Amino acid sequence: MTGVTPSGRLLLLEPQFVLRRTVSTMAREMGLADVQEATSAAVAEKLLFERRYDALLIAIDDEGETLELLRRLRAGETSHPARVPVAATAASCDVELALRLKQLDVCRLLLKPFKVRGMLEVISALGAPEPLSAS
């Protein structure tokens, strides 16, 4: 399905190369989103300062860097709009993490192991995101 125009810009934060590349390529080809890839929270934060995204799909890390980036985003401590839709993937989810994700307004959570199709469905559910204004 090459040649399909993506519906919005998505920042995909996923440290695993094969998964990240497969999902981003398929999402682009299916016209779900124009995907920018990040390998870590630090890279994602840099990209958030450089460009506007209509949605984020982030992998929750054990070190808490991803949640801290999301906290700063929601608190308006980045140059990016705080209201951007966010979905997450995680190896597991306990009550504490579930409450934290709810507090940070994460709209979807995909638990590992999952198939690439699951991530594509999450990207689709994020919205065929409506572009945010440049404000």
SS3 20: helix
Nearest to 35 by CA among 13, 15, 50: 13
Taking the whole predicted model, whether its pTM rises above 0.85 is answered as yes
Give the separation between CA 83 and CA 122, rounded to whole angstroms.
18
Residue-wise burial string across 66-101, b where 16 or more C-beta atoms lie within 10 A, e elsewhere: bbebbebbbeeebebbeebbbbbbbeeeeeebeebb
The Cα diameter of the chain in Å comes to 43
Residue 8, pLDDT score:
87
> pLDDT tens string for the chain (135 positions)?
333 445 689 999 999 999 999 999 999 999 999 999 999 999 999 999 999 999 999 999 999 999 999 999 999 998 888 999 999 999 999 999 999 999 999 999 999 998 999 999 999 988 644 444 443
58, 89 Cβ separation under 8 angstroms: yes
